Structure 1
């Protein structure tokens, strides 16, 4: 690992705490190996921001949808409209929820606002029968540490 962008000097540890992910980098002390360095205290590393490249849309039925027969007449037009978003490249992947009625879409959009605008135009959304939790996602920023040139390196 010595010749790979200074990776011999850095040991990166991804820490998952309280549902959030952070990155801590550890630098081995002089004369110590990587195993010893991993036991030392870690200093936080500021990661660059990442652009939103996808939005995870988690849909759930509203209380109005629970009324008997509320969704059945809307479903044919809902399916057609959803297929159009898929064929238009806005929905990359789609799944049905296993825990309760609803769907999960991985959307090819660059903002939560764009995802919201598309989803609220779907027939179930127009009728107030489905709502979405929208989660913006982007590239894994700790990877930027792997491609960063070491200080003093010549291109």
Structure 2
């Protein structure tokens, strides 16, 4: 199942709060990308943040994996995980 995950910054979170976690965040994302779990990552243009496309079995699995990102574990963001299907 393809899942679109959109980040939701915590109220009051700033780049200064994020900075200590960004290297770990990138390494975590890279590991998930290499495993095939993450299919695509895009920077948002409407605000700072990301849109991530996953391939997994359920939305629950997506939520559990996204909760393991360093910024999520630090309480600086959460993710909205939206299931998608092909049009045809």
Using the size of structure 2 for normalisation, the TM-score is 0.91
Residue correspondence of structure 1 range 14-29 to structure 2 within 5 A: none
2 CA distance for matches of 1:64 and 1:74? 16
- Residues 1:113 and 2:53 aligned together: no
What residue in structure 2 maps to residue 94 of structure 1?
41
What residue in structure 2 maps to residue 128 of structure 1?
75
User: Higher Cα Rg: structure 1 or 2?
Assistant: 1
Of residues 18, 21, 27, the one that matches 1:80 is 27
1:65 deviation in Å?
Answer: 1.9
- The DSSP-based 3-state class of the residue aligned with 1:63 is coil
Across the two proteins, how many residue pairs are aligned to each other?
88
Which deviations, in whole Å up to 9, do the C-alpha atoms of 1:6-54 show, x marking residues without a partner?
xxxxxxxxxxxxxxxxxxxxxxxxxxxxxxxxxxxxxxxxxxxxxxx11
1:60 deviation in Å?
Answer: 2.7
- The DSSP-based 3-state class of the residue aligned with 1:69 is helix
Using the size of structure 1 for normalisation, the TM-score is 0.54
- The DSSP-based 3-state class of the residue aligned with 1:65 is coil
1 CA distance for matches of 2:27 and 2:67? 15
1 CA distance for matches of 2:21 and 2:66? 15
Q: Which has the higher helix share?
A: 2
Deviates more, 1:56-65 or 1:114-123: 56-65
Instruction: Provide the alpha-carbon RMSD of the alignment.
Output: 1.3
Q: Which has the higher strand share?
A: 2
Unaligned runs of at least 5 residues, structure 2: none
Q: 4+ residue stretches of structure 1 with deviation over 6 A?
A: none
What residue in structure 2 maps to residue 58 of structure 1?
6
